[in-house]
Amino acid sequence: MLSIVLIGTGNVARHLFDAFSDCDSVQIRQVIGRNKKALEYFHKTTEITSDYNLLVDADIYIIALSDDAINTVSELLKLSNKLVVHTSGSVTMQRLVNNRTGVFYPLQTFSKNRRINFKQVPICIEAENEADLAILHKLASTLSREVHEISAEQRNALHLSAVFVNNFTNHMFTIANEICGEHQLSFSILKPLILETTNKIADMPPFEAQTGPARRNDTGTMDKHLQLLNSKNQKDIYSLLSESILKTYEKKL
């Protein structure tokens, strides 16, 4: 049995809490957070507090907070010889000032009201020593089939890749939604295409899955599309991404 204390009350903390609550081999001893209203969510099944002086004993302390808060909160944890980890994709382990430190980074986008199947969420772990890495491996394996030991540099690269595949992709959807709105079209008409776009890369490398006017160097269609776009921002994005697709295939073919 591994015991944990969760620090934070945001989306990541909630999702970890829900996932660990389903694991017989993990006991959540306490949830700590400043936001008393948000803490209520955890109150039914575990101890809650806003006072770092009331920290209980556990094997692992998980700081699931925004990047900026990690260092400060790490300093508030008066622990000796306890494993302290954070859940961030882009903060180094060294920002934790405690004497045993690590990283427990679940690579997923978490929203408040969406349940996630943690079995398929890659959990990227890192620790300063082998014994702690083994503990984190055990903890991560209770949640997921996808546990990866990766370096800080790789974690940064993954976080950056996640910005492209999640944040920027979602922004493409937002722009398409705007274009649909301007032409009295429902965005939902695009949903089957969106689902197929991502289903496709389950079987096919994205380099091979690429289609469209830029891929074919169909300048006529691209010119028509640029004329259709109303905002300079959207025109700039259309041009830069089309140019980038053109260059990608010139370079490699």
Query: What residues between 163 and 222 interact with its own copies by CB under 8 A?
Result: 163-177, 179-180, 182-185, 187, 189-198, 200-207, 209-216, 218, 220-221
* Beta carbon of residue 173, minimum distance to its own copies (angstroms, whole number): 4
* 250 lies in the binding site for its own copies (CB under 8 A): no
- The burial of 115, by beta-carbon neighbours within 10 Å (0-12 exposed, 13-18 middle, 19 or more buried), is given as exposed
Q: Are 63 and 74 in contact (CB under 8 A)?
A: yes
Alpha helices in 88-151, H assignment, sequence order = 130-143
From CA 214, how far away is CA 56, in angstroms rounded? 58
From CA 177, how far away is CA 199, in angstroms rounded? 21
Q: Are 60 and 135 in contact (CB under 8 A)?
A: yes
Q: Which helix (H) or strand (E) holds 63?
A: strand 60-63
Report the site for its own copies in 106-145 (rule: CB under 8 A): 107-109, 111, 114, 116, 120-122
* 94 lies in the binding site for its own copies (CB under 8 A): no
Contacts with its own copies by CB under 8 A: the residue count is 90
* Beta carbon of residue 148, minimum distance to its own copies (angstroms, whole number): 7
Structure tokens at 240: 């830069």
Q: Which is nearer to its own copies, 49 or 177 (CB)?
A: 177
Q: Which stretch binds its own copies (CB under 8 A): 29-37, 41-49, 52-60, 160-168?
A: 160-168
From CA 186, how far away is CA 57, in angstroms rounded? 53
From CA 143, how far away is CA 125, in angstroms rounded? 13
* 224 lies in the binding site for its own copies (CB under 8 A): yes
* Beta carbon of residue 18, minimum distance to its own copies (angstroms, whole number): 15
Report the site for its own copies in 58-77 (rule: CB under 8 A): 66-68
* 160 lies in the binding site for its own copies (CB under 8 A): yes
Q: Which is nearer to its own copies, 47 or 146 (CB)?
A: 146
Q: Which is nearer to its own copies, 36 or 200 (CB)?
A: 200
Q: Are 209 and 200 in contact (CB under 8 A)?
A: yes
Q: Which stretch binds its own copies (CB under 8 A): 56-64, 74-82, 132-140, 162-170?
A: 162-170
From CA 16, how far away is CA 140, in angstroms rounded? 11
* 95 lies in the binding site for its own copies (CB under 8 A): no
Q: Which helix (H) or strand (E) holds 119?
A: none
Q: Which is nearer to its own copies, 41 or 187 (CB)?
A: 187
